[in-house]
Amino acid sequence: MIPSILEDLLSKTFSEPIRKSVFLITGPPGIGKTAIPAQVALKLKMDCITFALSSCDEVDLRGMPQIVGGKTTWASPLPKTGKGVLILDELTSAQPSVQVAAHHIVRAEENSDMSVGSSWHIILTANGAADKTFYRAIPAPLRNRLTILKLDADLESWIKHSKDNNIRSEIISFLRWRPELLTTKEIPSDGAFPSPRSWWAASDILSLVVSSQTERELLIGTVGESSSIEFSAYLRLVRELPSIQNIMKNQTKEDIPTTPSLLYALVTSLGQHTRMSGESAMQYVSRMPAEFALLYIRDIRDHFEIGKDLDVRRWIEKHTKLFEREIS
């Protein structure tokens, strides 16, 4: 399941007044297993509580024992009233006793000291056995009470979310050119590696005022050596391109790059500029190959009224079939 579909599914699920299903989201590190449910809860203005099970003891879920009316009860930290989202994170890294406690929560025994309010939606997350994390298998009885969803990396979902969060255009354009580097196919036993999460961290690195050597070492420590070598070489080329300001002043005269990597860089930067400033770059972009002009329109359409831009309308009229097939 790709992130955009998971987000839509969780939006519908969390909108239900009563919990009906409990999802276990699996996938490699850095793919968004925990972030996506939390972001959906935030979007829906719901409370969200997260327990990192790998650092929990059983008592952290069940609570401390106390005597009430001559009987032992448990001061459970679990939510009983109200509504929201409860995330039980890193299930496969948890101690066996904590996995048992999670099982009690999922079973939803009425009036149990470990019951959760029925208006709280429960999400569990876990890495797989091949993900080079500390791994304990999930007991079959617990798995049998869950709907297990495998989350896969998806470039388009990542790009959409990244554009909405002002991730650097150099990273977005690089991954459009080299999409296979969004996430590693095999997690190394040591050192950094690329993932949707680590590329976000790389975006912050590009905002630092440091030497090129320091920047390269920071990127190696964030997305891994092989990915950072390609990305650093790409950055050197991109930083020699005409500035966005010069392009906007001379849209009909500025040179158009001929290599795909640089075209991805420019069209992504121009799309980001249009989304933020409301200033169209279509006169320049229309001089690019059609697939890059189309990419620009796709990038700006949710933040710019393309129907009111004469240059955009002219391009669409000229490429009606291509536009209808890709945009609809």
pLDDT (tens digit per residue) in 241-288 = 888 999 999 999 999 998 999 999 999 999 999 998 999 999 999 999
The answer to whether 173 and 17 are in contact (CB under 8 A) is no
Q: What is the DSSP letter of 180?
A: G
Continuous H helices in the chain:
3-14, 35-43, 58-62, 96-107, 140-143, 155-164, 169-177, 196-206, 212-223, 225-238, 244-249, 260-277, 282-285, 290-300, 310-318, 320-327
Q: What is the pLDDT of residues 188-246, one digit of tens each?
A: 888 999 999 999 999 999 999 999 999 999 999 999 999 999 999 999 989 888 889 99
Fold topology of 3-150: Rossmann fold (3.40.50)
| Per-residue pLDDT at 110 | 66
Exposed/middle/buried for 63, CB within 10 Å: 0-12, 13-18, 19+?
Answer: middle
Mean pLDDT of the chain: 90
Does the pLDDT of residue 109 top 90, yes or no?
no
Q: What is the pLDDT of residues 52-108, one digit of tens each?
A: 999 999 888 888 877 877 777 777 888 988 999 999 999 999 999 999 999 988 987
User: Which phi and psi angles does 64 have, rounded to 5°?
Assistant: -85, 145
Count, in order, helices (H) and strands (E) of the chain: 16, 7
What CA–CA distances, in Å, run from 235 to 11, 84, 176, 229, 239? 37, 43, 14, 10, 6
| Per-residue pLDDT at 325 | 65
Task: Give the Cα separation of 169 and 309 in Å (integer).
Answer: 23
Residue 328 binned pLDDT confidence (cut-offs 50, 70, 90): low
List CB contacts of 243: < 8 A, sequence separation 6 or more. Answer: none
| Per-residue pLDDT at 111 | 65
List CB contacts of 199: < 8 A, sequence separation 6 or more. Answer: 158, 167, 171, 175, 182, 223
Does the pLDDT of residue 320 top 90, yes or no?
no
Token code pair at residue 82: 């109200």
Q: What is the DSSP letter of 254?
A: S
- pTM for the model: 0.83
List CB contacts of 245: < 8 A, sequence separation 6 or more. Answer: none
> Which residue, among 237, 283, 224, has the nearest Cα to 264 in the 3D structure?
237
| Per-residue pLDDT at 145 | 93
User: Which phi and psi angles does 76 have, rounded to 5°?
Assistant: -70, 135
Q: What is the DSSP letter of 143?
A: H
Token code pair at residue 306: 């393309």
| Per-residue pLDDT at 327 | 53
Domain ranges of the chain: 3-150, 242-328
Task: Give the Cα separation of 248 and 295 in Å (integer).
Answer: 18
What is the percent of the chain where pLDDT is above 70? 97
Does the pLDDT of residue 113 top 90, yes or no?
no
- 155-192 in b/e burial notation, b at 16+ Cβ within 10 A? bebbbbbbbeeebbbbbbbbbbbeeebbbbeebeeeeb
Q: What is the DSSP letter of 80?
A: -
| Per-residue pLDDT at 235 | 92
Residue 142 binned pLDDT confidence (cut-offs 50, 70, 90): very high
296 SS3 class: helix
The answer to whether 278 and 304 are in contact (CB under 8 A) is yes
